[in-house]
Amino acid sequence: MKKVVSSATRVLGFIVTICSMCFIEGVSGYSRGAPYSTCFTRYPKHNHSPTQTEDNPYTIELSQSSYVVGETVEVKISSSDPDEHPIRGFQIAAFVENPKYEHMTIVGQFSDVDDGKSKIFSCASFAGSVRNMVTHKNNRIVSSVNLTWTAPAENVGNITFLATVVKNFATFWINTKVTLYGSVDLITDYPVESAAGMNEAEDTDFSNCGDTKACFLYPRNCYDNDCVAAVSFEYKAENDSYQVEMQAKLGSGSGYVGVGFSEDDIMGHDETFVCAANTQELSVQHGYSPAKYNERIITNDLSDKFVKIVGGRLLCRFMLRHKSLVTLMKQASNTNDYPQQYNFTFSKNDAWRIQLAWGPIMPDSNVITRHKDMPATTSSSVRIKEIGIYRGTAFHVLVQVHAAMMIVAWTFLTGIVTVIARHYKDMMSRKRLFGTKIWFQVHRALAILVAIMTAIGLITIFTHYGSTIRKAAVPHAYWGLAVTVAVGLQIIAGMLRPDADHKLRIVFNWGHWFLGQASHVMAAVTMFLAFEIDYITEDMHYFGFTTLAIWVGVQLMWHICFEIVSFIMKRTESDSYQVDESKEKSGSWIPAVLLIIYVIFLAACCTSVLCAFLLF
């Protein structure tokens, strides 16, 4: 008895530990300034708060309207009403308007600032400038910020100072700007190319996947234009480049689709290419994911860009050289020091795990934000130069194990467990297995198997996500933990089951029945909630809900059927009762056949629900 109590204590302790993990949350902020990852976006991602669209109370003033090379210019950010609109945070840099340079090129250099509010850092630039961005270093409120900027060593034409100014966490203005004029004749001879100027190009075409191009199509059972997301690569030998085409279902007039080249199936040290679109701006962006986030970097090695939204579907095309360069800056610990620059070369001729992501963009911008749907990754590393159709999944193998364990345990095994205990106690009543009735051995073995599979499912999902599971899986995770607790209590109660003649046996029987039924119902609710998780695609949601609804209907239908058959069998037995212990009761084959058919129906439903998850 002591061993049983000790085991029960360990089980409950494990469950309490797992439950407590769900309440741990991380908090992050940027009171010490904008991070390096915002060099080319300048958009605060403050809990997805949108930029203000009302009149901007902040302005940028320059000490002069034009410049010559190497000249010093005084820059001031100020508020029209410091009491109503103080400056808590900011970010500013000078960008070229000269089409000779990429439109995100930052130029010039800021001088050291000793105002207790500002700090300088460096963003990568085609022009080779450093110490070219200034941001706040604390959240102290000021009415204005004064800076000194030095013009580049060559006249690059007109320059625009762009600033983001933050009033408070949820209130900020982007694109506060002013123009510093340069030599006009330098900006007249360069053709301007942008994604927005190529809307008349032909739409993307995925009909030749596997014939002339390599394609990654998601989900597994889709083809051509019925995919949730897709990317294709067609090698062009004449210029040693790849024509890349992407598409994704957005369901709205704005959003993005992106492809990543990764060494594994998780984010981290990945090169990305993103097509973003809203009603006013279309763009193709180059990026890098140092960890579980993406940084927009200088867009190079791209040409022939095309972006378009048609019927809620984003279409995109661009040419990508087989080798591309990712340039990163390691900021100096002291703002007086110069940063270190690192260059990484990604060869598209190597084998990569291809990742597909799609989602919304920040309001009134082309800045991508966290994807709503889980990104898809090829099942293995692929060489995009090799023609073929590649498939993958949006879920890590541990998540797939979790889903498979829970679905098999609760849509298949649990139904058999409850039906045998309810309707098959008299089946083969004279036969024993290891000294116990066969129905009880089957019932107990399957119940323990359900508990083991539930425990495996719980361990695998927390091994993969840890405490961060709470952020996306509420309330599914809470219901799942409740089911796990109920199963644990069932196993413990079974260990402590009173003898048949004990006065508490009737209490145990009813309590065991009630907790078993409650666990089954809670498990059904948990599975429905699983297909409501934020990162589940709409197609997966509808597929999952449909298959689960059919399963519930089948369960109810068969429970009613079993009750009717049991009632008829009992009446038949009472009308034609014969005392003959040497023979099985007449008609005993009917329940056996019903059980076999029931198991087949459950297996079909279980397989359908598994497909609703494992096909994505």
- Going by pLDDT thresholds of 50, 70 and 90, the confidence category of residue 196 is very low
Verify that 258 and 273 share a domain, yes or no.
yes
Give the per-residue pLDDT at 185: 56
Within a domain: residue 101?
A: yes
Dihedrals φ, ψ of 371, to 5°? -65, 140
**Integer Cα distance of 480 and 512 in angstroms:** 19
Measured CA distances, 448 to 76, 413, 487 (Å): 71, 10, 9
Residues in the chain: 616
Of all residues in the chain, what percent are helix, strand and coil, respectively (each to 5)?
35, 30, 40
- Which among 437, 456, 461, 448 has a CA at the least distance from the CA of 413? 448
Task: Give mean pLDDT, residues 326-333.
Answer: 76
Partners of residue 467 on adjacent β-strands: none
Give the per-residue pLDDT at 197: 42
**Integer Cα distance of 45 and 519 in angstroms:** 41
Give the per-residue pLDDT at 332: 66
Give the per-residue pLDDT at 334: 63
Which range has highest mean pLDDT (98-107, 155-164, 423-432)?
155-164
**Integer Cα distance of 150 and 129 in angstroms:** 11
Task: Give mean pLDDT, residues 509-521.
Answer: 90
Model confidence at 327: pLDDT above 90: no
Asked which of 342-351, 385-394, 566-575 is least confident by mean pLDDT, the reply is: 566-575
Verify that 555 and 589 share a domain, yes or no.
yes
Which range has highest mean pLDDT (26-40, 359-373, 429-443)?
359-373
Measured CA distances, 508 to 6, 72, 472, 498, 511 (Å): 21, 86, 38, 7, 5
398 vs 1: which has the higher pLDDT: 398
Boundary-marking domain end, from 158, 187, 216:
187
- Which among 512, 485, 467 has a CA at the least distance from the CA of 12? 485
Boundary-marking domain end, from 187, 209, 244:
187
**Integer Cα distance of 247 and 493 in angstroms:** 54
- In the chain, what percentage of residues exceed pLDDT 90? 47
Verify that 545 and 521 share a domain, yes or no.
yes
Verify that 370 and 503 share a domain, yes or no.
no
Asked which of 9-18, 112-121, 276-285, 494-503 is least confident by mean pLDDT, the reply is: 9-18
Give the per-residue pLDDT at 8: 43
Measured CA distances, 239 to 204, 307, 351 (Å): 21, 22, 20
Give the per-residue pLDDT at 429: 64
The mean pLDDT value of the chain amounts to 84
Which range has highest mean pLDDT (46-60, 224-238, 316-330, 413-427)?
224-238
Model confidence at 12: pLDDT above 70: no
Verify that 359 and 415 share a domain, yes or no.
no
Task: Give mean pLDDT, residues 297-311.
Answer: 85
Model confidence at 395: pLDDT above 50: yes
558 vs 75: which has the higher pLDDT: 75
266 vs 8: which has the higher pLDDT: 266
Give the per-residue pLDDT at 307: 92
Within a domain: residue 399?
A: yes
Give the per-residue pLDDT at 226: 86
Q: Do residues 110 and 132 make contact, with C-beta atoms less than 8 angstroms apart?
A: yes
Within a domain: residue 558?
A: yes
- Going by pLDDT thresholds of 50, 70 and 90, the confidence category of residue 505 is confident
**CA 219 to chain CA centroid, nearest Å:** 15
Model confidence at 104: pLDDT above 80: no
Within a domain: residue 30?
A: no
Boundaries of domain holding 455: 2-24+395-574+583-614
Give the per-residue pLDDT at 425: 77
Q: Do residues 39 and 296 make contact, with C-beta atoms less than 8 angstroms apart?
A: yes
Task: Give mean pLDDT, residues 261-282.
Answer: 89
Task: Give mean pLDDT, residues 14-33.
Answer: 45
Q: Count Cβ atoms within 10 A of the Cβ of residue 92 and give its class: 0-12 exposed, 13-18 middle, 19 or more buried.
A: buried
Give the per-residue pLDDT at 99: 60
Dihedrals φ, ψ of 12, to 5°? -65, -35
Asked which of 167-181, 267-281, 492-506, 547-561 is least confident by mean pLDDT, the reply is: 492-506
Contacts of residue 356, defined as CB under 8 A and 6 or more positions apart, other chains included, come to 216, 218, 229, 230, 231, 246, 248, 257, 258, 259, 260, 375, 376, 377
- Going by pLDDT thresholds of 50, 70 and 90, the confidence category of residue 582 is very low
Model confidence at 110: pLDDT above 70: yes
Give the per-residue pLDDT at 336: 52
Measured CA distances, 510 to 497, 505, 514 (Å): 12, 9, 6
Model confidence at 448: pLDDT above 90: yes
Give the per-residue pLDDT at 50: 82
Within a domain: residue 368?
A: yes
Asked which of 140-149, 201-210, 421-430, 460-469 is least confident by mean pLDDT, the reply is: 421-430
Verify that 153 and 275 share a domain, yes or no.
no
**CA 57 to chain CA centroid, nearest Å:** 37
Q: Count Cβ atoms within 10 A of the Cβ of residue 287 and give its class: 0-12 exposed, 13-18 middle, 19 or more buried.
A: buried
3-state secondary structure of 323: strand
The pair of three-digit structure tokens given for residue 100, joined into one six-digit string: 């000779």
Give the per-residue pLDDT at 102: 57
- Going by pLDDT thresholds of 50, 70 and 90, the confidence category of residue 575 is low
- The count of domains in the chain is 3
86 vs 562: which has the higher pLDDT: 86
Verify that 330 and 385 share a domain, yes or no.
yes
End-to-end CA distance of the chain: 47
Give the per-residue pLDDT at 519: 93
- Residue 502's CATH number: 1.20.120
- Residue 112's CATH number: 2.60.40.4060
Question: Mapped to the 3 state alphabet, what secondary structure does 444-507 carry?
Answer: HHHHHHHHHHHHHHHHHHHHHHHHHHHHHHCCHHHHHHHHHHHHHHHHHHHHCCCCCCCCCHHH
3-state secondary structure of 195: helix
**Integer Cα distance of 492 and 494 in angstroms:** 5
Asked which of 93-102, 135-144, 241-250, 340-349 is least confident by mean pLDDT, the reply is: 93-102
Model confidence at 595: pLDDT above 90: no
Measured CA distances, 20 to 13, 478, 521 (Å): 11, 11, 24
Task: Give mean pLDDT, residues 261-283.
Answer: 89
Verify that 182 and 91 share a domain, yes or no.
yes
Task: Give mean pLDDT, residues 20-31.
Answer: 42
**Integer Cα distance of 176 and 383 in angstroms:** 44
Verify that 136 and 257 share a domain, yes or no.
no
Boundary-marking domain end, from 350, 373, 393:
393
Verify that 327 and 439 share a domain, yes or no.
no
Long-range contacts of 282-286 (CB under 8 A, 24+ apart): 282/194, 282/195, 282/196, 282/199, 282/307, 282/308, 282/366, 283/194, 283/195, 283/196, 283/307, 283/366, 284/195, 284/316, 284/318, 285/366, 285/368, 286/324, 286/326
**Integer Cα distance of 454 and 518 in angstroms:** 16
Model confidence at 153: pLDDT above 50: yes
Q: Do residues 400 and 449 make contact, with C-beta atoms less than 8 angstroms apart?
A: no
Within a domain: residue 360?
A: yes
- Which among 76, 128, 89 has a CA at the least distance from the CA of 106? 128
- Residue 318's CATH number: 2.60.40
Verify that 251 and 372 share a domain, yes or no.
yes
Verify that 274 and 244 share a domain, yes or no.
yes
Within a domain: residue 493?
A: yes
Within a domain: residue 97?
A: yes
Which residue, chain included where needed, has tokens 């995770």? 477
Model confidence at 28: pLDDT above 70: no
Give the per-residue pLDDT at 266: 84
Model confidence at 51: pLDDT above 60: yes
**Integer Cα distance of 232 and 27 in angstroms:** 38
Partners of residue 286 on adjacent β-strands: 273, 297
Task: Pick left, alpha or beta for residue 555 (phi over 0 → left; psi -120 to 50 → alpha; otherwise beta).
Answer: alpha
